[in-house]
Amino acid sequence: MKITNAKVIVCSPGRNFVTLKIFTNEGIYGLGDATLNGMEKAVVSFLENYCIPALIGQDPRNTEDIWHYFYRGIYWKRGSVSMAAISAIDMALWDIKGKMLKTPLYNLIGGKSRDRVLVYAHVNGNDPGETLEKADKAIEAGYEAIRIQCGVPGISHAYGVSKDSRFYEPAEKGLPPVQHWDTSKYLNFVPHLFEKIRVAVGDSIHLLHDVHHRCTPIEAARLAHELEPYHLFWLEDPVSGELQEGLRLIRKHSHTPIAIGEVFNTGYDYTTLITEQLIDFIRMPVSHGGGITHLQKVMALASFYHIQTGFHGATDLSPVSLAASLHFNMAVNNFGIQEYMPHNEIVNEVFKVNYHLEKGNLYINDNPGIGVDIDEESAAKFPYAKASLPVNRKTDGTLFYW
Ligand code: EZ4
Ligand code: CO
């Protein structure tokens, strides 16, 4: 079996998606998600100019060797752009493998360990009252786990609080907008928010919260400690992960579970975090973390340290990514939870999906491979539109963390 060609499909049904389609001499093709929010064209260029020419003629069944060809074989390693490309290639090859063997991807990576995938919903409001109303709605809809984000008094626009009440989208058209941030206001506010929410929703609902890397290790330690009475399922990205040792300080002061790494892109970003048991959940998704091939290794290492999956799954990850995550989560023993945000309806005109939501859980059907298809005619109706994630500045203008 040979790879005969590959192409990159860029479309924007409400938001930008980059999809890699790999063709073979046996008529089977595979799809991979290469979307990197706000940096889409950089991945397109890397795929088109460097990866696709090297893929043509290779045997698509050799997922392990091809992965290493693009990772070990390339002098300039790692980085979000090249890892997004490698992840898309790997996903497309596993899609081909499943289609060739006429079986869903989960059967190739361990079979079913469960019959559904627990997801968490996104709840965000401008103030605690509105946030609680939306939390009640999510619980009524059957969600067992909800991520709570809320506007912070004194901060004009807090990241993660959606402008559109139905869909969550942090990127805005054009160049990056500037948002403002004040950590002390945030730290003073969040424990009160969670007290209110926990008292109102009771003990049986899982509550999650995303810090989006806005704290220093000692600030994050304070927050994780002060949130202990409200029994969070996890506190996400409490600090920027560049300094893995920084997580030691949080662990030392708190038993709030920690999830980290939606911006990570290799297992090397996790080695200290895993082997010192500084975290509880892996956020790095299939689409940015090296695909199925690499994430299997990361989650295997994590399994020895009681660390579970909790993959990124915001709307900037395409349905191909979400389906790939679902196969992974169905198969792996150390499954934790999956992030889920419904895509805008027009996304489903372009992508034909093989999963559905029922009472806070996602179910996947038995389509072979990853099992999502793309309607290219429909994709062509939605041309790329530049959009960017915001940059953050303190109120005095100092550029701040992501
Ligand atoms: O900032 O998906 O956990 N989810 C998040 C998201 C991410 C965006 C980045 O593209 O943190 O809001
Ligand atoms: Co996040």
13 is written with which tokens?
């049904």
Tell me which of 169, 210, 260, 343 to substitute to probe ligand 1's pocket, judged by most ligand atoms within 8 Å of the beta carbon.
210
CB of 285 within 6 A of ligand 1: the answer is no
The predicted pLDDT at position 126 comes to 95
For residue 165, is pLDDT > 70? no
Distances (CA, A) of 89 to 241, 260, 368: 26, 24, 17
For residue range 187-199, list pLDDT tens digits in order.
999 999 999 999 9
The band of 160, judged by pLDDT with boundaries at 50, 70 and 90, is confident
pLDDT in tens, 248-269: 999 999 999 999 999 999 999 9
CA distance 387 to 17: 11
Q: Which ligand is nearest to the CA of 38?
A: 1
Predicted local distance difference test score (pLDDT) of residue 20: 99
Calpha distance 199→216 (Å, rounded): 29
Q: Which residues surround ligand 2, an ion (CB under 5 A)?
A: 210, 262
Percentages helix, strand, coil for the chain (3-state, rounded to 5) are 35, 20, 45
Contact status, residue 247 vs residue 258, Cβ threshold 8 Å:
yes
Tens digit of pLDDT for each residue in 283-312?
999 999 999 999 999 999 999 999 999 999
Q: How far is CA 401 from the centre of its chain?
A: 19
CA 250/CA 310 separation, integer angstroms? 19
Q: What is the pLDDT of residues 27-41, one digit of tens each?
A: 999 999 999 999 999
Q: Which two tokens stand for residue 253?
A: 């002061």
What token pair was written down for 158? 């807090």
Predicted pLDDT of residue 335:
98
Distance 35 CA to ligand 2 centre (A): 16
CA 225 to chain centre: 26
Using the atom order of ligand 1, give the atom closest to the CA of residue 171: 10
pLDDT at 177: 93
Q: What percent of the chain has pLDDT over 70?
A: 99
Residue 269's pLDDT is what? 98
CB of 40 closer than 6 A to ligand 1? no
